[in-house]
Amino acid sequence: KLEGPHIDPCSAQAGRAAACQGCPNQKLCAAGAAATDPVEAAELRERLRGVKHIVLVLSGKGGVGKSTFSAMLAHGLAADEAKQVALLDIDICGPSIPKMMGLEGEQVHQSGSGWSPVYVEENLGVMSVGFLLSSPDDAVIWRGPKKNGLIKQFLRDVDWGEVDYLIVDTPPGTSDEHLSIVQYLGASHIDGAVIITTPQEVSLQDVRKEINFCHKVKLPIIGVVENMSGFICPNCKKESQIFPPTTGGAEKMCQNLNVSLLGKVPLDPQIGKSCDKGQSFLSEVPDSPATSSYRSIIQRIQEYCDQHHCQEEKII
């Protein structure tokens, strides 16, 4: 239970206020969220030098389809064989990406240039703590500092090579792992974050917190994706609202908060089946309305990244 006044970890008082006494992260907060060892920052910058675009996938609440979207985004971008795509899973306690990408049971190999990603295709590499476990059923029972150390290791020690898109699948929330990935990637660059939600208010209230987190750490928001947005019956083609948007859904929230709505993805039972089998839903069920939605959203993300890259080049 948290007692006393809440101290924003990004504020000047973080780690210094009376309410921070006894907190295990007091020294870390007092050092400042942006405080990075210069040598460490140089190492991260050098390792990520060949990465053109970095996109974080966030959600305020678990179970809204964030990892599923990360997998679809990676598959969709890698459909262009001229593009090199990497998917980094930093959900340390719940790594589901290996199964979704059909890589369960694979292990990480080390070379002279560092850890090698596990490849789905020649142009799609994946890294996850799931590859480091002896069994998919093993529980990762780690405190924050150890999680943060592994995230740093993934960025610094993995031989990412020349990559057009690095997709980072994060755990739900706005805590240790999120602060760490933003801080570490601050040594390089982040194009922005895609935030996943479902239509009901119980999900949206946590997404508002996620948007607030992005503003506080100065993380650009590419846009919001409303997942599980209605169900279209494959027989009668009638649409039903499984998760009713009682407060207007993501569309209304985005209007109120001046954030882009990238699109809405309807429910399709084949999405879950494809993920369980480690297959790409986009290629397995190309005619699904959900596939059409995914492709439209992926195109918008690409356009945003290209525009962001052009703006950066102008500044340089």
Token pair for residue 251? 């569309």
Q: Please check if 259 is assigned to a binding site.
A: no
Query: Counting beta carbons within 10 angstroms of the beta carbon of residue 216, is it exposed (0 to 12), middle (13 to 18) or buried (19 or more)?
Result: middle
DSSP state, residue 141: -
Who contacts 300 (Cβ-Cβ below 8 Å, separation ≥6)?
223, 262, 263
233 annotated binding-site participant: yes
User: Is 118 labelled a binding residue?
Assistant: no
On whether 310 is known to bind a ligand per the annotation, the reply is: no
129 annotated among ligand-binding-site residues: no
Angle at 168 between CA 87 and CA 208, to 5 degrees: 145
Opening angle at CA 34, ends 22 and 209, nearest 5: 75
Was 214 annotated as part of a binding site?
no
Please tell me the distance from the alpha carbon of residue 192 to that of residue 218, in angstroms, as a whole number: 10
Q: Which two tokens mark 90?
A: 């930093």
Is 236 annotated for ligand binding?
yes
Annotated binding-site residue? 63: yes
Q: Which residue has the tokens 């699948």?
A: 169
User: Would you say 67 is a known binding-site residue?
Assistant: yes
Residue 288 assigned to a binding site: no
Contact 189/54 with Cβ under 8 angstroms? yes
Question: Annotated binding residue at 105?
Answer: no
Query: Which are the contacts of 146, defined by CB distance < 8 A and separation ≥ 6?
Result: none
Is 263 annotated as belonging to a binding site?
Answer: no
CA 21/CA 248 separation, integer angstroms: 42
Instruction: Specify whether the CB–CB gap between 192 and 222 falls below 8 A.
Output: yes
- Structural contact between residues 140 and 129, judged by C-beta atoms closer than 8 angstroms: yes
Collapse the DSSP code of 156 into the 3-class scheme (helix H, G, I; strand E, B; otherwise coil) and give the result: helix
- Binding region: 10, 20, 23, 29, 60-67, 233, 236
For the annotated binding site for [4Fe-4S] cluster, the residues are 10, 20, 23, 29, 233, 236
Q: Which residues are annotated as a binding site for ATP?
A: 60-67
